[in-house]
Amino acid sequence: MHYNDIIISPVITEKAANVSSDGKTYVFKCNKDANKFQIKNAIEEAFGVKVEKVNTLNTKAKKRRVGRYTGYTKTYKKAYVTLKDGDTIEL
């Protein structure tokens, strides 16, 4: 798999900003089928940095309503990537 198939987008939320305030941790939305090793290799290839560890979680669908119509949000895999000292990513 190419790294574009694994990394979908960075997660830019208030919680992700609090996590990344240390300058070493970044949050990415990833392919559901990707494992930690594939995510680590994709980040290293895409940004040219060294990854220390990867923590992943699968988000759950939440019930949302627009007017009288109800539905669910999409599920996705989220990866918290911690870089080695001295490495940074420009998002």
The CATH number that applies at residue 30 is 3.30.70.330
Is the residue at 90 inside a domain? Answer: no
Considering its fold, how many domains does the chain have in total?
Answer: 1
Count of alpha carbons within 13 angstroms of residue 65, beta-carbon side: 2
- Express as a percent the part of the chain with pLDDT over 90: 82
Please write the tens of the pLDDT for every residue from 9-52: 999 999 999 998 888 999 999 999 999 999 999 999 999 999 99
Residue 11: φ, ψ to 5° = -95, 120
Is the residue at 44 inside a domain? Answer: yes
Residue ranges making up the domain that contains 77: 3-83
- Predicted structure pTM score: 0.87
Is the residue at 89 inside a domain? Answer: no
Is the residue at 67 inside a domain? Answer: yes
DSSP annotation of 13 reads S
Q: Stretch 55-81: mean pLDDT, rounded?
A: 95
| pLDDT, mean over the chain | 93
Distance CA 88, CA 91 (A): 10
How much is the pLDDT for 62? 95
